[in-house]
Amino acid sequence: MLAQVAKKRINRGISLLETLIAISLLAILTTYFWIDVPSLRGRVYDAVRKSDLEKIKVALEDYYARVDSYPSALPSCGQPFSYSNSETTSPIPCDPVTKLPYPYQVLSTGQSYRLYTTLFNKQDYSITKVGCQGGCGSQCQYNYGVSSPGTTLEKCSYVCAPGGGKSGSCEQYHDPDRSQCPKLYLADPTCASECSKPQNRCKNASGKQHLQE
């Protein structure tokens, strides 16, 4: 009899222990899931953004083939490009989060353009692929984009600016070549702490100005 009672107690103890373990694991998995949801959602939105820019790029090239110039602006969200013969393109997508049109810059009197966005995942390989590790755009505020054939994105790089005293000054320049900067520091606002060496500094500050085309 005593042996049976002891056996029942052991069985009850094991069942309770298993239940506690299961509850603990469930709590851990639930916590992990909720913590990781924003990251997963951000990556999904990034995929949408990159796909959107490719769709708009196709529409822009189609527009150029018909009109012999790129449009001065993108249509409102969800609206197509319209042509004089009443034909239209597919609806032009907008950012999936802000619901605003993607930043579009037309250049050279309609003969070229740049189209930008900001990806949530700053480690996305696409950012490196297009050269926007240090930022792109007139204020270095974007990290991904596409452009018309033969046109490069307006990329930003950190460089050792001229002057700056003994310690030097690490700043973002849009056209380091114009300033004859000997070294570029992509996505490194400290310039690897090398600006104290005069040989690493740009010759002039003309490349700090925004590119004008």
Residues 194 and 165: beta-carbon distance below 8 Å: no
Q: Are residues 177 and 136 in the same domain?
A: no
Q: pLDDT at position 29, please?
A: 61
Q: Is residue 47 part of a domain?
A: yes
Of 188, 178, 140, 179, whose CA–CA distance to 161 is shortest? 179
Of 119, 178, 106, 108, whose CA–CA distance to 147 is shortest? 106
Q: Is residue 11 part of a domain?
A: no
| Domain termination residue (choose one: 120, 147, 174) | 147
Q: Are residues 193 and 138 in the same domain?
A: no
Per the DSSP assignment, residues forming a β-bridge with 136 are: 142, 155
Q: Are residues 114 and 164 in the same domain?
A: no
Q: Are residues 57 and 143 in the same domain?
A: yes
Q: Strand 112-117 and strand 144-147: pairing?
A: antiparallel
Question: Running DSSP on this structure, what letter comes out for residue 87?
Answer: -
- CB-facing half-sphere around the CA of 121: CA atoms within 13 A: 19
Q: Are residues 106 and 49 in the same domain?
A: yes
Q: Is residue 60 part of a domain?
A: yes
Q: Is residue 4 part of a domain?
A: no
Tens digits of residue pLDDT in 138-155: 888 999 999 999 998 988
Q: pLDDT at position 211, please?
A: 44
| Domain termination residue (choose one: 129, 147, 165) | 147
Q: pLDDT at position 127, please?
A: 94
Expressed as residue numbers, the domain containing 67 is 39-147
Pure H helices in the chain: 2-67, 125-130
Q: Are residues 189 and 108 in the same domain?
A: no
Q: Is residue 26 part of a domain?
A: no
Q: Are residues 45 and 133 in the same domain?
A: yes
Q: Are residues 91 and 191 in the same domain?
A: no
Q: Are residues 137 and 191 in the same domain?
A: no
Q: Is residue 101 part of a domain?
A: yes
Which of helix, strand or coil describes residue 201? strand
| Domain termination residue (choose one: 147, 165, 196) | 147
Residues 177 and 203: beta-carbon distance below 8 Å: no
Exposed/middle/buried for residue 186 (C-beta within 10 Å: 0-12, 13-18, 19+): middle
CA angle 106, 112, 117 (to 5 degrees): 60
Instruction: State the Cα torsion 48-53-54-57 to the nearest 10°.
Output: 160
Q: Is residue 88 part of a domain?
A: yes
Number of domains the chain is built from: 2
Q: Are residues 111 and 181 in the same domain?
A: no
Q: Are residues 85 and 65 in the same domain?
A: yes
Q: Are residues 194 and 103 in the same domain?
A: no
Tell whether the torsion through CA atoms of 153, 180, 210 and 196 is positive or negative: positive
Low-confidence ranges of the chain (pLDDT < 50): 2, 5-6, 9-10, 211-213
Pairwise CA distance, residues 58 & 49, whole Å? 14
Q: Is residue 100 part of a domain?
A: yes
**Structural Rg of the chain based on CA atoms:** 27
